[in-house]
Amino acid sequence: MTDPDLTGLTAARLVEGYRKGEFSPEEATLAVLERAERIQPEVNAFVRLLPEQALAQARESTERWRRGEPRGLLDGVPTTVKDIILLRGAPTLRGSKTVSEKGRWEEDAPSVARLREHGAVFVGKTTTPEFGWKGVTDSPLSGVTRNPHDPSRTAGGSSGGAAAAVALGAGPLALGTDGGGSVRIPAAFCGIFALKPTYGRVPLYPASAFGTLSHVGPMTRDAADAALLLDVIGVPDSRDWSALGPAPGSFSAGLAGGVRGLRVAYSPTLGGQVAVRPAVAAAVRRGVERLAELGAYVTEADPDFADPVDAFHTLWFSGAARVTSQLGPGQRESLDPGLRQICATGARFSALDYLAAVDVRMELGRRMGRFHDSYDLLVTPTLPITAFEAGAEVPKGSGHRRWTGWTPFTYPFNMTQQPAATLPVGTDADGLPVGLQLVAARHRDDLVLRAAHTLYEAGVSGAGS
């Protein structure tokens, strides 16, 4: 019999247990696979489970731990991979019927390759909307992914399957991608932790059609696991010419500094630009007050920028048009209807339109760079709402046309390439998680992780437990 409690442990705790001989990677992997199979019919977190490969990897890891020779920092830890990211031996269909399963699928993405080098166990590919284009997870290929706290609600997206899997114990570590909030949105809706690192910290290959908006990021139970995962995947890879050099130190080692003396700007509405639900605002404010109690200097202050949504749409819709540009008429008919719409819009933009959006992006980056001369961290709600009905791109009756209408706190920081994380800070009256977002200057992923870890240690977070 496998111990069902193994599915509730963090990666760090699993590694500690392997080291002490309390349980084995094979036992942990069996427990995770059983949990994944149990949750799949209701939540639909996976597009593909890989039980045979996972158990073979787990048995090899068990033997390494028996010999006292673990391969790396995450040897034997069950891990999932969003079905946008290449995983050797499994098709990467990107949520689309237009991608053929045929082929040998022989290459790992850089993040997957680093995890494999450290002995991680790959249990499956998680669901995504088609080509990761929107902030909820449903697709013509794999259907609707649902919220672990209420299956009638969305898990968010585009890394919705990854968030649901972590929240329900189907692997403590997940790789997601984030081009406009796609690790932070579902993490906030599902009550887990996620980090969009500084652009280039985690190498990306193949390059995203959405260009330098798209980041690979950890999705985990807590900030300590995210730091551990970032230590593994946040190293250069020659296939990504835009990847950063080696990190200045271990992210895990930097967690213990606390927040005393940090200058924190709290922006509850981005200067009145965003209508935030009262339950969300109250939970985030309590988290901010805890930062102050822990020694941070908190000031209510707004970053100086107007909503850059039009420029973001130009960049995002152009990328969508590019990713589908080689499809024939029959293939286009099989696309998500919303994706077809934004591709048509994106195809009409000129090079000058695109460059004008780049100008907006550069100015936004300049403003945020100056803002962080005065403040170490910016705190906002991750989202102004909690999870809404599954299968819809926007909440019913909201008046929003596209998913960007309800994600105004997330996509600006893809444009600026800054590190941004979300952690759960409570629930609303329906028991749905609320996320708090932490943002730092480029290259200061350590500050985001340290502040989040301090809040976890203080007991502020708990919606995902």
Answer for the pair 93, 131: CB distance below 8 angstroms, yes or no: no
Which CATH number do you get for residue 247?
A: 3.90.1300.10
Half-sphere exposure of 378 toward its Cβ, with a 13 Å CA cutoff? 30
Residue 324 has pLDDT above 50, yes or no: yes
- CA–CA distance, 375 with 418 (Å, rounded to integer): 14
Examine residue 334 and state whether it is found in any structural domain, yes or no.
Answer: no
Question: pLDDT tens for residues 335-388?
Answer: 999 999 999 999 999 999 999 999 999 999 999 999 999 999 999 999 999 999
Query: What percent of the chain is modeled with pLDDT above 90?
Result: 97
Examine residue 316 and state whether it is found in any structural domain, yes or no.
Answer: no
Residue 4 has pLDDT above 70, yes or no: no
Examine residue 335 and state whether it is found in any structural domain, yes or no.
Answer: no
Examine residue 451 and state whether it is found in any structural domain, yes or no.
Answer: yes
pLDDT band of residue 238 (cuts 50, 70, 90) is very high
Please give the DSSP secondary-structure letter assigned to residue 326.
T
Matching residue, tokens 């008919």: 333
What are phi and psi for residue 146, nearest 5 degrees? -115, 160
- CA–CA distance, 216 with 332 (Å, rounded to integer): 27
The pLDDT of 201-214, averaged and rounded, is 96
Examine residue 332 and state whether it is found in any structural domain, yes or no.
Answer: no
Biggest CA–CA distance in the chain, Å, is 63
* Other Cβ atoms within 10 Å of 458 Cβ, number: 15
- CA–CA distance, 396 with 318 (Å, rounded to integer): 27
Instruction: Say if residue 228 is exposed, middle or buried (CB neighbours under 10 Å; 0-12, 13-18, 19+).
Output: buried
Answer for the pair 77, 120: CB distance below 8 angstroms, yes or no: yes
Question: pLDDT tens for residues 149-164?
Answer: 999 999 999 999 999 9
The string of DSSP letters for 17-66 reads HHHHTSS-HHHHHHHHHHHHHHHHHHH--EEEE-HHHHHHHHHHHHHHHH
Examine residue 292 and state whether it is found in any structural domain, yes or no.
Answer: yes
pLDDT for residue 462: 57
- Picking from 361, 368, 384, the residue whose alpha carbon sits closest to that of residue 440 is 368
Answer for the pair 410, 435: CB distance below 8 angstroms, yes or no: no
- Picking from 208, 201, 203, the residue whose alpha carbon sits closest to that of residue 179 is 208
pLDDT band of residue 2 (cuts 50, 70, 90) is very low
User: Looking at the whole model, is its pTM more than 0.95?
Assistant: yes
- Across the chain, mean pLDDT equals 97
Number of domains making up the chain: 1
Matching residue, tokens 């019927």: 97
Radius of gyration of the chain (CA): 20
Examine residue 45 and state whether it is found in any structural domain, yes or no.
Answer: yes
Residues of the domain holding 216:
4-310+341-457
Residues annotated as catalytic (active site), given as ranges:
82, 158, 182
Examine residue 80 and state whether it is found in any structural domain, yes or no.
Answer: yes
Any residues with CB less than 8 A from the CB of 214 and at least 6 apart, and which? 132, 177, 178, 179, 204, 208, 414
